[in-house]
Structure 1
Amino acid sequence: MALTAHKKLLIIGFVWPEPKSSAAGSRMLQLIEVFQSENYHITFASTCGKGDKAFNLENLGIEQVTIQLNHSSFDEFIKVLDPDLVLFDRFMTEEQFGWRVAQQCPNALRILDTEDLHALRKGRQEAFKNKEVFDKTHLFNDTAKREIASIYRSDLSLIISEAEMERLKNQFKVDASLLMYLPFMIDEISIKNTSKYPSFGARQHFITIGNFLHPPNYNAVLYLKEMIWPLIRKQLPKAEMHVYGAYASQKVLQLHHKKEGFLIKGFAEDVNKVMQQSKICLAPIRFGAGLKGKLIDAMQNGTPCITTSIGAEGMFGTLKPNGFVADSPQEFANKAIRLYQDELLWKEKQQNGFKIINKRFNKAEHQQKLLNRIRETSKHLGEKRLDNFTGAMLLHHRHQSTKFMSKWIEEKGKNNSM
């Protein structure tokens, strides 16, 4: 079954996309662009309330619908919509609505965008918290059981990192036919555009950026403030650390210290502008998963980075990084100081970043791969579902357990409102 005009796509979002606040929001808009290139009629639905930073999808001609959790109104909604394809944004939305989609629209292709492996992020955070070496006992947590089940129930799951692909295949033993590697999809960076970027001499200070609702980001900023920045500041007394990010809480704002040059700047309306003003991006991430949007932003804007092994995971492949990877505070600081002062080295790392974007995150290449995979999966959907007995079994039990729990919650809500 080839992709033709006017097919219908329903996206069920865990939250409304906020591309200026998070990498997940940017990722969603990239996916939407792929389907719009094939003339899909797109509906975006979510149970979540809209924040003031939510992107207005209606500007892209996308219908926005608020749906209810544990409510049969969704059944009627999707039956009328009758989508050809349903995209679940994170495994939690597949848990909540996947059984209803399968029941009302059994022929619709069900795709899960994992964003990142939540189980990996949660396991690493737990190991970090307990000061333990991360291993299978942390990875095979309760979130993993839910997330892997969701992957099996879906016809295709989009995995943002090669490292996570390998974990799924080798540690969780998920069949490769259910998975597709799909990283960020970025426009090619041309020499014509990069020639307009501010030079080494025109830039100053250090930058980090990240949504503060995301625990790894707050932890990284705290680590910078307490362990790394004092070492850098001692050698570069005029340099400043500029910290940007949406949803800065009071505990984040309290880290602001003007005399130490550690400045909490808050939400960045234009990430490209603040990145291009900065000389180096620091991303000392100690736990997390997926690909780091801040490193993508930095490479796109010609800003070399210092990050950790976890920050670098899945980013560079066999290519040379756009900076350095360091896991101890002293080494991290030393690399940052050296890169800040060495113009030739800085330019070399900047060029590495451009190469990484163009070779590993090429939009046209990955868009085409996704469309080809959707065609192939749609064409053999019945056969693929027959081959995925584990997914059919899990879907059957999810149907039963979630269906009756959901109906119980709905009836309880009716009774309470009487």
Structure 2
Amino acid sequence: MSNNKLLIIGHVWPEPRSSAAGARMMQLIAAFQKEDYEIIFASACAKSDNAFDLSEIDIVQANIEMNHSSFDHFVKSFGPNVVLFDRFMTEEQFGWRVAEHCPKALRLLDTEDLHSLRKGRHQAFKDGNDFSDAYLFNDVAKREVASIYRCDVSLIISEVEMDLLKKDFKVPEDLLFYLPFQCDPISERTIQNLPSFDQRDHFITIGNFLHEPNYDAALYLKESIWPLIRQQLPKAQLYIYGAYASQKVNQLHHEGSGFLIKGFAEDVQAVMATAKVCLAPLRFGAGLKGKLVDAMQNGTPCVMTAIAAEGMFGSLEPNGFIEDTSEEFAEKAILLYQNESLWKEKQNNGFKVLNERFDKTFFHDRLFSKINEIIEHLQKHRHQNFTGQMLQHHHFQSTKYMGKWIEEKNK
């Protein structure tokens, strides 16, 4: 039995078939399992039917309560040497308890994406304004960046968000670690087995509808982009997949125009591999887009907005086109749908991006080198982060006594 113990405190239970966040969490779990960590996944959230059963991969699942001292006994008895907070909200709730009862445990934060960036962009979009610092420096940013400082290291999914944290928020680089999606390389054999251009026949878009940018993208398609595509391709169909489709989503379904709400995809790989072109017209959001990774893995070229493409391609060519007007977006979608040689060129770009930018072996070694280095010099690392100590002190006092008051109140 390994001496390494990891406690993951989940904002939600992972749903890898429903969201990119769920897929990322499973990638992190696999990475720690490869390093022979004993893992407990704990959450105060209720489980949905789409939650992955972690016991299938030998991970203990624990239900925990917010604002309750039972967590103190739980974390102390397990004695983790690494605690991973899934999003800053869980660090706010449980970070002070971890610091008090397991002070020598490395506190690791997975931001998933920068919630403050996503919120600021959404507000700018609703206001009809260009995004600016006035939208970035919001109240969520104050909470999120404070959480990053209180942790020993934070996992950042996008290079754009790394730069933003360093330049705009002045977060020291040694508190941040760039960790995008970790994917298996695409082999030539896999590529050869994918359906060809002629074996595919429709457009696709996919995304969890609890995530506001995905609903807005479906609406944008319905109102502005799809009518332009259908004008040129009157027999084309658009399949819209996503978990948690509400009534307002299902009302967008329209057989006559080929705008088809398909709901939850049991097998994302299967539905993506049969589509000819993926559409990702996101108008706000943050992080990396799992739908683009799914598309590249299945050889499905994309038309996407700059927001969708952000952080994905680096200096490499995209697996399709990046367009921000509905007219250009529709034009490029039609072009990709009809032009086989262009389609194959963009498909090959996607394979190159996956293999050169998201190779899990490359990031695995660097991640655990970073983790082990900080564990070895934890006291020094924390002493160099005085801002974090200061925030931890004030957060500890305020949250601790608020938590105790709520616990007493609930008795």
User: TM-score normalised to the size of structure 1?
Assistant: 0.98
How do residues 181-330 of structure 1 correspond to structure 2 at under 5 angstroms?
181-330=178-327
Distance 1:342 1:29 in 2: 37
The 3-state SS of whatever aligns with 1:330 is helix
Distance 2:201 2:296 in 1: 16
Consecutive aligned runs of 4 or more in structure 1 exceeding 3 Å deviation:
none
Distance 2:63 2:38 in 1: 17
How do residues 137-156 of structure 1 correspond to structure 2 at under 5 angstroms?
137-156=134-153
- What is the identity, as a one-letter code, of the residue corresponding to 1:181? Y
Could you tell me which residue of structure 2 aligns to residue 59 of structure 1?
Answer: 56
Could you tell me which residue of structure 2 aligns to residue 32 of structure 1?
Answer: 29
What is the CA-CA distance between 1:215 and the residue it aligns to? 0.2
What is the CA-CA distance between 1:301 and the residue it aligns to? 0.3
Match of 1:48 among 45, 67, 75: 45
- What is the identity, as a one-letter code, of the residue corresponding to 1:97? F
Q: Does 1:157 align with 2:149?
A: no
Residue pair 1:57, 1:63 contacting (<8 A) in 2 also: yes
Distance 1:366 1:300 in 2: 18
Residue pair 1:70, 1:410 contacting (<8 A) in 2 also: yes
Q: Does 1:375 align with 2:365?
A: no
Q: Does 1:102 align with 2:99?
A: yes
Q: After superposition, give the CA deviation of every residue in 1:197-243 in whole Å (9 maximum; x if it has no partner).
A: 00000001100000000000000000000000000000001110100
Distance 1:5 1:406 in 2: 34
- What is the identity, as a one-letter code, of the residue corresponding to 1:240? Q
Distance 2:238 2:335 in 1: 16
- What is the identity, as a one-letter code, of the residue corresponding to 1:60? I
Residue pair 1:114, 1:157 contacting (<8 A) in 2 also: yes
Could you tell me which residue of structure 2 aligns to residue 179 of structure 1?
Answer: 176
- What is the identity, as a one-letter code, of the residue corresponding to 2:233? L
Could you tell me which residue of structure 2 aligns to residue 363 of structure 1?
Answer: 360
What is the CA-CA distance between 1:277 and the residue it aligns to? 0.5
Could you tell me which residue of structure 1 aligns to residue 397 of structure 2?
Answer: 400
Distance 1:380 1:400 in 2: 26
Q: Does 1:117 align with 2:119?
A: no
What is the CA-CA distance between 1:380 and the residue it aligns to? 1.2
The 3-state SS of whatever aligns with 1:116 is coil
The 3-state SS of whatever aligns with 2:117 is helix
Q: CA RMSD in A?
A: 0.7
- What is the identity, as a one-letter code, of the residue corresponding to 2:181? F
Q: Does 1:351 align with 2:348?
A: yes
- What is the identity, as a one-letter code, of the residue corresponding to 2:78? L
Distance 2:365 2:31 in 1: 8
Residue pair 1:280, 1:340 contacting (<8 A) in 2 also: yes
- What is the identity, as a one-letter code, of the residue corresponding to 1:132? N
User: TM-score normalised to the size of structure 2?
Assistant: 1.00
Residue pair 1:12, 1:87 contacting (<8 A) in 2 also: yes
Distance 2:118 2:10 in 1: 20
- What is the identity, as a one-letter code, of the residue corresponding to 1:375? N
Distance 1:6 1:352 in 2: 43
Distance 2:73 2:354 in 1: 43
Distance 2:6 2:273 in 1: 37
What is the CA-CA distance between 1:5 and the residue it aligns to? 3.1
Residue pair 1:5, 1:38 contacting (<8 A) in 2 also: no
How do residues 128-139 of structure 1 correspond to structure 2 at under 5 angstroms?
128-139=125-136
How many pairs were matched up?
411
Distance 1:196 1:183 in 2: 26
Distance 2:22 2:317 in 1: 28
Residue pair 1:206, 1:242 contacting (<8 A) in 2 also: yes
Q: After superposition, give the CA deviation of every residue in 1:87-118 in whole Å (9 maximum; x if it has no partner).
A: 00000000000000000000000000000000
Q: After superposition, give the CA deviation of every residue in 1:134-157 in whole Å (9 maximum; x if it has no partner).
A: 000000000000000000000000
Match of 2:332 among 321, 332, 335: 335
Could you tell me which residue of structure 2 aligns to residue 74 of structure 1?
Answer: 71
Distance 2:225 2:122 in 1: 20
What is the CA-CA distance between 1:382 and the residue it aligns to? 0.6
Structure 1: tracts of 5 or more residues without a match? none
The 3-state SS of whatever aligns with 2:341 is helix
The 3-state SS of whatever aligns with 2:197 is coil
How do residues 3-14 of structure 1 correspond to structure 2 at under 5 angstroms?
5-14=2-11
Distance 1:358 1:396 in 2: 43
The 3-state SS of whatever aligns with 1:207 is strand
Could you tell me which residue of structure 2 aligns to residue 127 of structure 1?
Answer: 124
